[in-house]
Amino acid sequence: MARTYGLRKRVLVTGGAGFLGSHLCERLIADGCDVLCVDNFYTGTKDNVAHLIGSPHFELMRHDVTFPLYVEVDEIYNLACPAAPVHYQHDPVQTTKTSVHGAINMLGLAKRLRARILQASTSEVYGDPSVHPQREDYWGHVNPIGVRACYDEGKRCAETLFFDYHRQHRLDIKVARIFNTYGPRVHPNDGRVVSGFIVQALRDEPITVFGEGRQTRSFCYVSDLIEGLVRLMASPEGFTGPVNLGNPGEFTILELAHKVIALTGSSSQVVYRPLPADDPMQRRPDIALAQRELGWTPAVPLEEGLARTIAYFRPLIQR
Ligand code: NAD
Ligand code: UDP
Protein backbone atom coordinates (compact mmCIF):
# COMPACT_ATOMS: atom_id res chain seq x y z
CA MET A 1 0.00 0.00 0.00
CA ALA A 2 1.60 3.26 -1.09
CA ARG A 3 2.30 5.74 1.69
CA THR A 4 3.73 8.31 -0.69
CA TYR A 5 2.24 11.77 -0.24
CA GLY A 6 3.71 12.98 -3.50
CA LEU A 7 2.88 11.58 -6.91
CA ARG A 8 6.07 9.60 -7.33
CA LYS A 9 6.34 5.97 -6.40
CA ARG A 10 9.40 5.27 -4.19
CA VAL A 11 11.25 2.24 -5.47
CA LEU A 12 14.17 0.39 -3.87
CA VAL A 13 16.57 -1.42 -6.22
CA THR A 14 19.08 -3.63 -4.40
CA GLY A 15 22.14 -4.37 -6.52
CA GLY A 16 21.25 -1.16 -8.36
CA ALA A 17 24.87 -0.33 -9.26
CA GLY A 18 25.32 -3.59 -11.14
CA PHE A 19 24.72 -4.39 -14.79
CA LEU A 20 20.95 -5.05 -14.72
CA GLY A 21 20.33 -2.84 -11.68
CA SER A 22 21.78 0.28 -13.31
CA HIS A 23 19.58 -0.15 -16.39
CA LEU A 24 16.58 -0.72 -14.14
CA CYS A 25 17.28 2.44 -12.08
CA GLU A 26 17.54 4.43 -15.31
CA ARG A 27 14.23 3.03 -16.59
CA LEU A 28 12.38 3.65 -13.31
CA ILE A 29 13.53 7.27 -13.14
CA ALA A 30 12.41 7.75 -16.75
CA ASP A 31 9.04 6.30 -15.73
CA GLY A 32 8.69 8.96 -13.01
CA CYS A 33 9.74 7.02 -9.89
CA ASP A 34 11.97 8.07 -7.00
CA VAL A 35 14.72 5.45 -6.93
CA LEU A 36 16.77 4.34 -3.94
CA CYS A 37 19.73 2.31 -5.23
CA VAL A 38 21.34 0.10 -2.56
CA ASP A 39 24.63 -1.65 -3.32
CA ASN A 40 27.79 -2.77 -1.54
CA PHE A 41 29.83 -2.37 -4.78
CA TYR A 42 31.05 -5.97 -4.68
CA THR A 43 30.67 -6.36 -8.45
CA GLY A 44 28.82 -3.15 -9.29
CA THR A 45 30.41 0.29 -9.54
CA LYS A 46 29.47 3.92 -9.02
CA ASP A 47 30.44 4.43 -12.67
CA ASN A 48 27.38 2.40 -13.71
CA VAL A 49 25.08 4.97 -12.10
CA ALA A 50 27.32 8.07 -12.29
CA HIS A 51 24.99 9.61 -14.88
CA LEU A 52 22.06 9.34 -12.44
CA ILE A 53 23.85 10.92 -9.46
CA GLY A 54 22.64 14.50 -9.17
CA SER A 55 19.10 13.69 -10.24
CA PRO A 56 16.69 14.69 -7.43
CA HIS A 57 14.92 11.40 -8.09
CA PHE A 58 17.96 9.17 -7.51
CA GLU A 59 19.68 8.25 -4.25
CA LEU A 60 22.68 5.94 -3.91
CA MET A 61 23.30 4.11 -0.63
CA ARG A 62 26.25 1.84 0.21
CA HIS A 63 24.80 -1.09 2.13
CA ASP A 64 25.18 -4.86 2.27
CA VAL A 65 21.79 -6.61 2.08
CA THR A 66 22.96 -9.36 4.44
CA PHE A 67 22.36 -6.71 7.15
CA PRO A 68 18.91 -5.31 7.93
CA LEU A 69 17.80 -2.17 6.10
CA TYR A 70 15.32 0.39 7.43
CA VAL A 71 13.96 2.63 4.67
CA GLU A 72 10.51 3.73 3.49
CA VAL A 73 9.57 2.65 -0.04
CA ASP A 74 6.53 1.43 -1.99
CA GLU A 75 8.17 -1.27 -4.13
CA ILE A 76 11.32 -3.39 -3.93
CA TYR A 77 13.34 -5.00 -6.74
CA ASN A 78 15.80 -7.44 -5.11
CA LEU A 79 18.72 -7.82 -7.53
CA ALA A 80 21.68 -7.81 -5.12
CA CYS A 81 23.85 -10.87 -5.84
CA PRO A 82 26.95 -11.48 -7.96
CA ALA A 83 25.79 -13.17 -11.18
CA ALA A 84 28.93 -14.29 -13.02
CA PRO A 85 30.41 -17.70 -12.06
CA VAL A 86 33.90 -16.29 -11.37
CA HIS A 87 32.39 -13.66 -9.09
CA TYR A 88 29.94 -15.83 -7.20
CA GLN A 89 32.54 -18.61 -6.76
CA HIS A 90 35.15 -16.17 -5.41
CA ASP A 91 33.48 -16.07 -1.96
CA PRO A 92 30.80 -18.78 -2.13
CA VAL A 93 29.72 -18.45 1.51
CA GLN A 94 29.05 -14.74 1.02
CA THR A 95 27.12 -15.58 -2.18
CA THR A 96 24.74 -17.85 -0.28
CA LYS A 97 24.44 -15.27 2.51
CA THR A 98 23.61 -12.58 -0.02
CA SER A 99 20.84 -14.66 -1.57
CA VAL A 100 19.41 -16.08 1.64
CA HIS A 101 20.02 -13.46 4.33
CA GLY A 102 19.47 -10.77 1.70
CA ALA A 103 16.08 -12.26 0.82
CA ILE A 104 15.10 -12.53 4.51
CA ASN A 105 16.06 -8.90 5.13
CA MET A 106 14.30 -7.56 2.04
CA LEU A 107 11.20 -9.70 2.69
CA GLY A 108 11.13 -8.43 6.28
CA LEU A 109 11.31 -4.88 4.97
CA ALA A 110 8.51 -5.57 2.48
CA LYS A 111 6.40 -7.11 5.23
CA ARG A 112 6.71 -4.07 7.50
CA LEU A 113 5.93 -1.72 4.61
CA ARG A 114 3.31 -4.01 2.97
CA ALA A 115 5.33 -3.27 -0.18
CA ARG A 116 5.32 -5.34 -3.35
CA ILE A 117 8.65 -7.15 -3.80
CA LEU A 118 10.24 -8.72 -6.88
CA GLN A 119 13.02 -11.29 -6.75
CA ALA A 120 15.64 -11.55 -9.52
CA SER A 121 15.87 -15.34 -9.64
CA THR A 122 17.64 -17.25 -12.36
CA SER A 123 17.54 -20.03 -14.94
CA GLU A 124 20.22 -21.63 -12.72
CA VAL A 125 17.40 -22.92 -10.51
CA TYR A 126 16.92 -25.48 -13.34
CA GLY A 127 20.58 -26.56 -13.01
CA ASP A 128 21.76 -28.81 -15.86
CA PRO A 129 18.22 -29.40 -17.12
CA SER A 130 16.86 -32.75 -18.26
CA VAL A 131 13.76 -31.01 -19.68
CA HIS A 132 14.17 -28.79 -22.73
CA PRO A 133 13.12 -26.02 -23.19
CA GLN A 134 12.67 -25.13 -19.53
CA ARG A 135 9.17 -24.38 -18.28
CA GLU A 136 8.37 -22.90 -14.90
CA ASP A 137 6.84 -26.16 -13.63
CA TYR A 138 10.15 -28.04 -14.10
CA TRP A 139 11.78 -28.52 -10.66
CA GLY A 140 15.33 -28.58 -11.93
CA HIS A 141 18.44 -30.75 -11.77
CA VAL A 142 20.94 -29.07 -9.47
CA ASN A 143 24.08 -30.49 -7.83
CA PRO A 144 23.66 -29.29 -4.21
CA ILE A 145 27.36 -29.69 -3.34
CA GLY A 146 29.06 -28.50 -6.53
CA VAL A 147 30.91 -25.25 -7.22
CA ARG A 148 27.81 -23.59 -8.69
CA ALA A 149 25.61 -24.59 -5.73
CA CYS A 150 26.31 -21.43 -3.69
CA TYR A 151 24.49 -19.51 -6.41
CA ASP A 152 21.94 -22.08 -7.61
CA GLU A 153 20.86 -23.28 -4.17
CA GLY A 154 21.02 -19.76 -2.72
CA LYS A 155 18.60 -18.59 -5.42
CA ARG A 156 16.39 -21.65 -4.92
CA CYS A 157 16.22 -20.98 -1.17
CA ALA A 158 15.40 -17.32 -1.89
CA GLU A 159 12.46 -18.49 -4.04
CA THR A 160 11.33 -20.72 -1.15
CA LEU A 161 11.46 -17.74 1.22
CA PHE A 162 9.49 -15.57 -1.20
CA PHE A 163 6.71 -18.17 -1.50
CA ASP A 164 6.64 -18.83 2.26
CA TYR A 165 6.32 -15.08 2.99
CA HIS A 166 3.54 -15.02 0.40
CA ARG A 167 1.68 -17.94 1.98
CA GLN A 168 2.43 -17.13 5.62
CA HIS A 169 2.27 -13.33 5.58
CA ARG A 170 0.19 -12.71 2.42
CA LEU A 171 3.07 -10.72 0.97
CA ASP A 172 2.65 -9.42 -2.57
CA ILE A 173 5.55 -11.15 -4.36
CA LYS A 174 6.85 -11.50 -7.93
CA VAL A 175 9.56 -13.96 -8.95
CA ALA A 176 11.41 -13.61 -12.28
CA ARG A 177 13.64 -16.44 -13.53
CA ILE A 178 16.15 -14.55 -15.64
CA PHE A 179 18.07 -16.32 -18.43
CA ASN A 180 21.51 -15.15 -19.66
CA THR A 181 21.28 -11.42 -20.32
CA TYR A 182 23.90 -9.20 -21.94
CA GLY A 183 24.42 -5.62 -23.06
CA PRO A 184 26.30 -2.44 -22.22
CA ARG A 185 27.73 -2.22 -18.67
CA VAL A 186 28.08 -5.96 -18.24
CA HIS A 187 31.40 -6.34 -16.42
CA PRO A 188 34.19 -6.70 -19.04
CA ASN A 189 36.35 -9.07 -16.96
CA ASP A 190 33.86 -11.27 -15.16
CA GLY A 191 34.26 -14.22 -17.52
CA ARG A 192 30.66 -14.14 -18.71
CA VAL A 193 30.62 -15.43 -22.20
CA VAL A 194 29.21 -12.53 -24.26
CA SER A 195 31.32 -9.77 -22.72
CA GLY A 196 34.33 -12.11 -22.53
CA PHE A 197 34.20 -13.02 -26.22
CA ILE A 198 33.64 -9.40 -27.29
CA VAL A 199 36.62 -8.16 -25.27
CA GLN A 200 38.83 -10.99 -26.58
CA ALA A 201 37.74 -10.27 -30.17
CA LEU A 202 38.30 -6.52 -29.88
CA ARG A 203 41.84 -7.23 -28.61
CA ASP A 204 42.42 -9.81 -31.38
CA GLU A 205 43.16 -12.32 -28.62
CA PRO A 206 42.17 -16.02 -28.74
CA ILE A 207 38.46 -16.68 -28.11
CA THR A 208 38.33 -19.20 -25.24
CA VAL A 209 35.58 -21.72 -25.93
CA PHE A 210 35.04 -24.11 -23.01
CA GLY A 211 34.59 -27.79 -23.84
CA GLU A 212 33.77 -28.31 -27.51
CA GLY A 213 31.46 -25.30 -27.51
CA ARG A 214 28.42 -27.50 -28.14
CA GLN A 215 26.66 -26.35 -24.94
CA THR A 216 23.83 -23.93 -25.65
CA ARG A 217 22.56 -20.72 -24.09
CA SER A 218 19.78 -18.27 -24.92
CA PHE A 219 20.86 -14.65 -24.81
CA CYS A 220 18.50 -11.80 -23.96
CA TYR A 221 19.34 -8.16 -24.66
CA VAL A 222 19.20 -5.98 -21.55
CA SER A 223 16.43 -3.58 -22.70
CA ASP A 224 14.09 -6.54 -23.31
CA LEU A 225 14.85 -7.97 -19.88
CA ILE A 226 14.21 -4.66 -18.11
CA GLU A 227 10.87 -4.33 -19.91
CA GLY A 228 9.97 -7.82 -18.64
CA LEU A 229 10.89 -6.95 -15.03
CA VAL A 230 8.86 -3.72 -15.10
CA ARG A 231 5.84 -5.52 -16.59
CA LEU A 232 6.09 -8.26 -13.99
CA MET A 233 6.18 -5.71 -11.16
CA ALA A 234 3.07 -4.03 -12.63
CA SER A 235 1.15 -7.30 -13.11
CA PRO A 236 -2.05 -8.01 -11.10
CA GLU A 237 -1.56 -9.02 -7.44
CA GLY A 238 -2.66 -12.61 -8.02
CA PHE A 239 0.21 -13.26 -10.43
CA THR A 240 3.34 -14.20 -8.46
CA GLY A 241 5.33 -16.15 -11.04
CA PRO A 242 7.85 -17.70 -11.08
CA VAL A 243 8.03 -16.57 -14.66
CA ASN A 244 10.84 -17.13 -17.16
CA LEU A 245 12.31 -13.98 -18.72
CA GLY A 246 14.74 -14.65 -21.52
CA ASN A 247 15.13 -14.82 -25.27
CA PRO A 248 14.15 -18.25 -26.65
CA GLY A 249 16.70 -18.00 -29.50
CA GLU A 250 19.19 -20.79 -28.67
CA PHE A 251 22.83 -20.84 -29.83
CA THR A 252 25.83 -23.03 -29.17
CA ILE A 253 28.79 -21.27 -27.57
CA LEU A 254 30.80 -21.99 -30.73
CA GLU A 255 28.13 -20.25 -32.85
CA LEU A 256 28.33 -17.28 -30.51
CA ALA A 257 32.13 -17.17 -30.87
CA HIS A 258 31.86 -17.05 -34.68
CA LYS A 259 29.17 -14.37 -34.61
CA VAL A 260 31.31 -12.18 -32.35
CA ILE A 261 34.36 -12.65 -34.57
CA ALA A 262 32.32 -11.72 -37.67
CA LEU A 263 30.62 -8.69 -36.09
CA THR A 264 33.86 -7.25 -34.65
CA GLY A 265 35.88 -7.96 -37.82
CA SER A 266 38.47 -9.55 -35.53
CA SER A 267 41.43 -11.72 -36.49
CA SER A 268 40.95 -13.82 -33.32
CA GLN A 269 41.06 -17.61 -33.51
CA VAL A 270 38.95 -19.97 -31.42
CA VAL A 271 40.90 -21.95 -28.79
CA TYR A 272 39.41 -24.72 -26.66
CA ARG A 273 39.68 -24.87 -22.85
CA PRO A 274 38.36 -27.48 -20.36
CA LEU A 275 34.66 -27.29 -19.57
CA PRO A 276 34.13 -25.99 -15.99
CA ALA A 277 32.46 -28.32 -13.47
CA ASP A 278 28.66 -28.62 -13.62
CA ASP A 279 28.44 -26.36 -16.70
CA PRO A 280 24.84 -26.81 -17.98
CA MET A 281 24.75 -28.40 -21.47
CA GLN A 282 21.63 -26.64 -22.71
CA ARG A 283 19.40 -23.79 -21.73
CA ARG A 284 16.40 -22.22 -23.43
CA PRO A 285 13.40 -20.59 -21.80
CA ASP A 286 9.82 -21.49 -22.60
CA ILE A 287 8.32 -17.99 -22.41
CA ALA A 288 4.65 -18.87 -23.01
CA LEU A 289 3.75 -17.78 -19.46
CA ALA A 290 5.40 -14.35 -19.83
CA GLN A 291 3.76 -13.91 -23.23
CA ARG A 292 0.33 -14.76 -21.85
CA GLU A 293 0.46 -13.00 -18.46
CA LEU A 294 2.71 -10.02 -19.23
CA GLY A 295 2.21 -9.62 -22.99
CA TRP A 296 6.02 -9.75 -23.15
CA THR A 297 8.22 -11.06 -25.96
CA PRO A 298 11.85 -10.02 -26.46
CA ALA A 299 12.31 -7.77 -29.49
CA VAL A 300 16.09 -7.49 -29.99
CA PRO A 301 17.67 -10.29 -32.05
CA LEU A 302 21.14 -11.57 -31.09
CA GLU A 303 23.04 -9.90 -33.97
CA GLU A 304 21.52 -6.50 -33.18
CA GLY A 305 22.14 -6.81 -29.44
CA LEU A 306 25.71 -7.95 -30.06
CA ALA A 307 26.31 -5.00 -32.40
CA ARG A 308 25.08 -2.56 -29.70
CA THR A 309 27.22 -4.26 -27.04
CA ILE A 310 30.30 -4.22 -29.29
CA ALA A 311 29.73 -0.49 -29.93
CA TYR A 312 29.74 0.04 -26.13
CA PHE A 313 32.93 -1.98 -25.55
CA ARG A 314 34.98 -0.78 -28.54
CA PRO A 315 35.97 2.64 -27.11
CA LEU A 316 36.59 1.16 -23.65
CA ILE A 317 38.95 -1.50 -25.00
CA GLN A 318 40.78 0.77 -27.45
CA ARG A 319 41.46 3.49 -24.86
P1 NAD B 1 26.01 -7.75 -11.29
O2 NAD B 1 27.07 -8.51 -10.58
O3 NAD B 1 26.41 -6.77 -12.33
O4 NAD B 1 25.09 -6.99 -10.25
C5 NAD B 1 24.85 -7.44 -8.94
C6 NAD B 1 24.91 -6.23 -8.00
O7 NAD B 1 24.64 -6.65 -6.66
C8 NAD B 1 26.28 -5.56 -8.00
O9 NAD B 1 26.15 -4.17 -8.13
C10 NAD B 1 26.86 -5.96 -6.64
O11 NAD B 1 27.81 -5.01 -6.14
C12 NAD B 1 25.60 -6.03 -5.80
N13 NAD B 1 25.73 -6.88 -4.62
C14 NAD B 1 26.30 -8.12 -4.52
N15 NAD B 1 26.23 -8.56 -3.26
C16 NAD B 1 25.61 -7.59 -2.54
C17 NAD B 1 25.26 -7.44 -1.17
N18 NAD B 1 25.52 -8.40 -0.27
N19 NAD B 1 24.64 -6.29 -0.78
C20 NAD B 1 24.39 -5.31 -1.65
N21 NAD B 1 24.70 -5.37 -2.96
C22 NAD B 1 25.30 -6.50 -3.39
O23 NAD B 1 25.00 -8.84 -11.89
P24 NAD B 1 23.72 -8.64 -12.83
O25 NAD B 1 23.95 -9.40 -14.07
O26 NAD B 1 23.32 -7.22 -12.90
O27 NAD B 1 22.63 -9.47 -11.99
C28 NAD B 1 21.65 -8.81 -11.21
C29 NAD B 1 20.70 -9.85 -10.63
O30 NAD B 1 20.06 -10.57 -11.67
C31 NAD B 1 21.39 -10.89 -9.74
O32 NAD B 1 20.57 -11.18 -8.64
C33 NAD B 1 21.53 -12.09 -10.64
O34 NAD B 1 21.54 -13.29 -9.91
C35 NAD B 1 20.27 -11.95 -11.50
N36 NAD B 1 20.45 -12.62 -12.80
C37 NAD B 1 21.23 -12.07 -13.77
C38 NAD B 1 21.41 -12.74 -14.98
C39 NAD B 1 22.24 -12.17 -16.11
O40 NAD B 1 22.42 -12.86 -17.11
N41 NAD B 1 22.73 -10.97 -16.04
C42 NAD B 1 20.80 -14.00 -15.18
C43 NAD B 1 20.04 -14.54 -14.14
C44 NAD B 1 19.86 -13.83 -12.96
N1 UDP C 1 32.10 -19.99 -21.79
C2 UDP C 1 33.09 -20.23 -22.73
N3 UDP C 1 34.18 -19.40 -22.75
C4 UDP C 1 34.34 -18.36 -21.91
C5 UDP C 1 33.31 -18.10 -20.95
C6 UDP C 1 32.21 -18.94 -20.91
O7 UDP C 1 32.99 -21.15 -23.54
O8 UDP C 1 35.36 -17.63 -21.99
C9 UDP C 1 30.92 -20.86 -21.76
C10 UDP C 1 30.63 -21.47 -20.39
O11 UDP C 1 31.34 -22.69 -20.23
C12 UDP C 1 29.13 -21.69 -20.47
C13 UDP C 1 28.64 -20.56 -21.36
O14 UDP C 1 29.78 -20.06 -22.06
O15 UDP C 1 28.85 -22.93 -21.11
C16 UDP C 1 28.00 -19.41 -20.59
O17 UDP C 1 28.86 -19.03 -19.56
P18 UDP C 1 28.56 -17.80 -18.59
O19 UDP C 1 29.61 -17.81 -17.54
O20 UDP C 1 28.38 -16.58 -19.39
O21 UDP C 1 27.13 -18.10 -17.94
P22 UDP C 1 26.40 -19.39 -17.35
O23 UDP C 1 25.21 -19.53 -18.23
O24 UDP C 1 27.28 -20.60 -17.44
O25 UDP C 1 26.09 -19.02 -15.94
Element (H or E) spanning 150, and its range? Answer: helix 149-169
pLDDT grade for 5, boundaries at 50, 70 and 90: low
Residue 189: predicted pLDDT = 83
Q: What average pLDDT does this structure show over 120-126? A: 98
Residue 208 lies in a domain: no
- % of the chain surpassing 90 pLDDT: 95
Predicted confidence (pLDDT) at residue 2 exceeds the cutoff of 90: no
Q: What is the pLDDT of residue 3?
A: 55
Distance CA 177, CA 287 (A): 10
- Cβ atoms of 81 and 102 closer than 8 Å: yes
Q: Is a pLDDT exceeding 90 seen at residue 272?
A: yes
3-class DSSP assignment, residue 60: strand
Would you say residue 2 lies in a domain?
no
Residue 262 in any domain: the answer is no
**What DSSP string describes 270-303?**
EEEEPPPTT--S---B--HHHHHHH-------HH
Domain count, the chain: 1
Ligand 1 pocket residues where CB is under 6 Å? 14-15, 17-21, 39-44, 64-66, 79-83, 98, 102, 120, 122, 178, 180-181, 187
Dist. CA 79–CA 220, nearest whole Å: 17
> What per-residue confidence (pLDDT) applies to 192?
93
Q: Which pTM was predicted?
A: 0.96
Which of the four pLDDT bands, split at 50, 70 and 90, describes residue 245?
Answer: very high
Contact (Cβ atoms closer than 8 angstroms) between residue 16 and residue 45: no
Whether 304 is in a domain gets the answer no
Give residue 25's pLDDT.
98
Residue 203 lies in a domain: no
Whether the per-residue pLDDT at 4 is higher than 80: the answer is no
Q: Which amino acid is present at 188?
A: P
pLDDT at 308 over 80: yes
Q: Is 151 a catalytic residue?
A: yes
The ligand placed nearest to the CA atom of residue 79 is 1
Cα 269 to middle of ligand 1, angstroms:
31
Alpha-carbon distance 66 to 96, whole Å?
10
Q: Give me the CATH number covering residue 143.
A: 3.40.50.720
Burial of 138 (0-12, 13-18, 19+ CB in 10 A): middle
In a domain, 195, yes or no: no
Residue 49 structural domain: 10-180+222-246+285-299
Q: Does residue 26 sit within a domain?
A: yes
Average pLDDT, the chain: 96
Model confidence at 106, pLDDT cuts 50, 70, 90, reads very high
- pLDDT of 64 higher than 80: yes
Residue at 255 is within a domain: no
Best mutation site among 126, 181, 220, 253 for ligand 2 pocket (most ligand atoms within 8 Å of CB): 253
Using one digit for the tens of pLDDT, what is the confidence trace for 165-201? Answer: 999 999 999 999 999 999 999 988 888 999 999 999 9
